[in-house]
Amino acid sequence: MREALRVRGLKVTPQRLAILEELVGDPTHPTAADLFERLRPRLPSMSFATVYNTLAVLTEQGLCVATSLVAGAVRFDPNVEPHDHAVCDGCGLVVDVILERGAPREAAPKQRPVSGFAVRVVERIYRGLCVGCAASQELAADAE
């Protein structure tokens, strides 16, 4: 991770390193607030602005992707390779859906869907319930 920062000409600070490590280790696409709360015990002098600005720099440098898959704050995805997402309608959990190696991925449509609109990327979002929310719904249904 240090090397990823250095290669892009970014200063390796304890804050940047901690934010990047926390982000890369979290497959749930955390928000800036999520990362700030998790890192505050370890780095009590770090401000929310530092987390937010660092995530902006990491996004700009291609080390993560800012995405809005659920209502609310922007989430950050350390997986910069093309992939799809699954979103829980119950709790808002977001996880990557990785295609099997060699599986075909739909390309951007050749025809522009809206006059003057050039498609940059095609994303697929699977919406439903995560295991925990589905189990809670089953328990609630059984209790009725």
Q: Output the DSSP codes for 106-143.
A: PPPPSS-SSTT--------EEEE--HHHHHHHHHHHHH
* Mean pLDDT score across all residues of the chain: 86
- Give the model confidence (pLDDT) of 64-97 as tens digits: 999 988 888 899 999 988 888 999 999 888 989 8
- Give the model confidence (pLDDT) of 105-129 as tens digits: 555 555 556 677 777 777 789 999 9
Whole-structure pTM value: 0.78
CA diameter of the chain: 59
**CB proximity list for 57: less than 8 A, separation 6 or greater:** 10, 16
What is the per-residue pLDDT for 142?
80
Q: Hey, what domains does the chain have and what are their CATH numbers?
A: 2-67 (1.10.10.10), 81-143 (3.30.1490)
| Residue keyed to tokens 């994303």 | 123
Token pair of 1 as six digits:
């991770």
**3-state DSSP assignment of residue 4:** helix
